[in-house]
Amino acid sequence: SWTAPTGRPPSTAALWSSPLREFDLLSFLAEHRGEVLERDRLLNAVWGVSFYGDDNNLEVYVRYLRRKLGDSDRQLIQTVRGVGYRLVLD
């Protein structure tokens, strides 16, 4: 299983006692690195099956992650047009 640079499992990361969605998203992408993950699968894994809302949340959080990872050229988190996203680690 993938662990965060803090040495703690991603699910234990918290800010003001609430899980970080960005961390959950990065963790899920890392666990499935190289695999194209459909948008619905990512939404279900990170926000839950009962998520009801704008699926624009996913784009927003991917943008947050790209910014924090310095991935402005979108080489680390790749958009697969019409499908979803893929994390590429060389």
In a domain? residue 5: no
Asked if 25 and 65 touch (Cβ cutoff 8 Å), the reply is yes
Range of the domain at 81: 18-87
Residue 74: per-residue pLDDT: 87
Name the domain count of the chain. 1
How many angstroms separate the Cα of 18 from the Cα of each of 2, 40, 72, 85? 20, 23, 28, 25
For the chain, residues with pLDDT lower than 70 are: 1-19, 51-52, 55
Please give the structure tokens belonging to residue 10: 């991603």
pLDDT, residue 79, reads 96
42 lies in some domain? yes
Q: Is residue 60 part of a domain?
A: yes
81 part of a folded domain: yes
Q: What is the CATH number of the domain that holds 57?
A: 1.10.10.10
Structure confidence at residue 86 (pLDDT): 97
Let me know: does 27 contact 61? Beta carbons within 8 Å. no
Classify residue 11: in a domain, yes or no: no
Q: What is the pTM of this model?
A: 0.75
